[in-house]
Structure formats: structure tokens, C-alpha cells
Amino acid sequence: MRRPFCSLSLSLLCLACAPTQRQTPDAGAQDSKPQRLVAQVVHTYPHDPTAFTQGLQFHQGQLYESTGEKGDLRRISLDQAAPLWKQSLPGVFPEGLASDGERLYQLTWQDETLFVWSGAPPAQEKQVAYPGEGWGLCYWKGQLVRSDGTATLRFHDPKDFHEKSQVQVTLQGAPQDMLNELECAEDGVYANVWHSSTVLKIDYATGRVLAVIDASALAEAVRGRVHSFEAVLNGIALEPGTNRMFLTGKLWPDLFEVVLVGPATTP
């Protein structure tokens, strides 16, 4: 989308209304090589092979999943593939999922609607409109971080979801688009790269890629048991208190607990 034209007389007004663009990394940061890591499987758990996974999130001690296509919000378990609870969302395409500890926030792809859930089991508290696409979502220090398939991460106020700032994600100075599912951690935000077996770890302030994570072993583990072009890596969750990392994919029959090791031997 093109920016609206601002005449000189309205330039200050336009600047005041626009979301803040965070500072671009300096040349030294752009030249910094990211860490190279590999996602190594430590446990494999059952996962619903019909779930078109778009978001994976721990919330109040439970694991939740947002699924697309004929989508829903569901509570899942590491013990069985079938969901323990689910709420269908007809007429929309659900996407990323985030928790602030009290509420769940669920994006939609092109429906420009954010669903806010509260309680147990979750009930819809409200819906909030926003412009543009929704892909991934996570919560960090009072803000919701959204991806939309571009190289931009957008920071939103959870109260009304207005955009407060944005940052461009770069790998040694090159913009990195197709950012999908997100998971916020203390030391950076993890992002799936759509239609790849790569997860990026990104600095919140600069957008600089801190680590490139190779998760191809997971895709290899489900090879032959998935039969859709869209059955790709998507879904990252960190368990609060333990920081155990879980990864899965759309239409995958497995959910993996992984540890990150490195550096990778491949370039």
C-alpha cells in the first residue's frame, strides 16, 4: 500500500499520525553475521494431521492452537492428537495467536479482525478491526507484535490494536519477507519463514536477524506422511517457566519438542 501524499503544510501532521519507524541498524550491525543453529528433536508428540496450524501458544498453563482454512481456536495436549476443546470460527481464516497471560489474541488473514478471548474455556470478549493482513502474532512487554507476510514487524497496543511502531527485519542488511508465525522471547522474537524450514530469531529494536535456525530435520521426519504443498513448518511455542520449545507444521501428524544446537555445519 502506498503512503498518502503529504504536502509541506501537512507534513508534521502526517508524521504525527504515522506509526513510528524504529531506527535502522547501523552498517556495523548490518554486517554482523547471525548465529547459525539447528533445531534438534528431543521428543515427538501426536498432532492432529487435519489442523492447518497458524498459531501455537501456551496460555495459563495450557497449550492452544489457532487453525486456518475451516479454522478454529482449540486447546490441545501433548498426549493426544485430537483437541481437548475447540471453538469453530466460520466465515473467517484464523491466523496467529498470542497471550498476555490474561487474554488470548487471535488474528485473521484477510478479514481484518482481531478476536480477543478470555476465561476458561475461552469465550470471545470482543472483536477489533485493523487494516491489512494478519499472519503471526506474539506478546512482548505490553505490546502485540504482528507479521503480515512482509519484512515488517508491527507493534500494537493490546487495548485497541492501533499500530504504535514498526521495524524492518534484515539479514546482514537484506530485508527478510514472508515472516509468518511468531513467538516472543526475552532475547528476541522467533519467526517462521513461510514455505521454508527456517526459523529466524530477530532483535526487537533493530529488526536485525540474530540467528538463523535450520529446522529441516522436522520436515524430513514427517516426509511421506503429509500430502499437501501447504504442509509446511508453522507453529512455535515456548513453555513459560521452562522455555521448552515446541515446533510443528500445517497438517503435520507430529509436534516436536526441540533444543537449538549449533553452530550448524551447513553454510
Mean pLDDT by 10 residues, the chain (267 residues): 34 44 48 91 98 98 97 98 98 98 98 98 97 98 98 98 98 98 97 98 98 98 96 98 96 98 63
* pLDDT score, position 182: 98
Domain locations in the chain? 34-261
Tell me whether strands 94-99 and 209-214 are parallel, antiparallel or unpaired.
unpaired
Task: Assign residue 81 a region (left: φ > 0; alpha: ψ between -120 and 50; beta: otherwise).
Answer: alpha
Q: CA torsion sign, 141 to 143 to 148 to 153?
A: negative
* pLDDT score, position 46: 98
Residues 201 and 209: beta-carbon distance below 8 Å = yes
Which CATH topology does 34-261 take? Neuraminidase (2.120.10)
Closest CA to 235 of 40, 63, 38: 63
* pLDDT score, position 32: 82
Distance CA 118, CA 99 (A): 10
